[in-house]
Amino acid sequence: MIDDLKNEMKLEFISKAKNEAFARITVAAFVSQLDPTIEELADIKTAVSEAVTNCIIHGYEDKQGIVKIVGRLKENEIILEISDKGKGIENIDIAKEPLYTTRPNLERSGMGFTIMESFMDHIEIESIVGLGTKITMSKKIKPKIETEEEDFQMMTKD
């Protein structure tokens, strides 16, 4: 498995809201090795933001814990595991429904999983009540040649 990896990183931080930006920027710097487009980078940063925010707000609620991110770069893909050792999710299918939230008192929209699914190619959620949650998500980065050809075709369309 390590043979097909281009690179790997591990990051752990306390579940404080101010660390969400730190996580997003760190993952963006890491994935920059694959030379993503601005749009691909924005998608990844948004998905990371949603996953980390879920760990902080829902996983640990009103207490602190550790959020862990493992990032792996393969040929043209980033694979991210974002996990907590918080309270876990009782019913993943219900939690994935748009606008569902366990914290209606907060100004959150309940769209975290929907956003992650929209911006990443693949997302998998594993959770055990009382032990925590792990979200694994991946996104393929288009090679620059493909991107440049698509841009050229868009510019030359009538």
Tokens of 133: 């949650």
Q: pLDDT tens for residues 23-69?
A: 999 999 999 999 999 999 999 999 999 999 999 988 998 899 999 99
CATH number, domain with residue 110: 3.30.565.10
Catalytic residue among 76, 77, 108, 117: 108
50 is catalytic: yes
Q: pLDDT tens for residues 74-118?
A: 989 999 999 999 999 887 777 777 655 666 565 556 667 878 999
pTM above 0.75, yes or no: yes
Looking at the 3D structure of the chain, how many domains does it have? 1
Separation in Å, CA 57 to CA 73, 76, 157: 28, 32, 46
Catalytic residue among 54, 97, 107, 124: 54
Q: Containing domain of residue 42, as a range?
A: 2-156
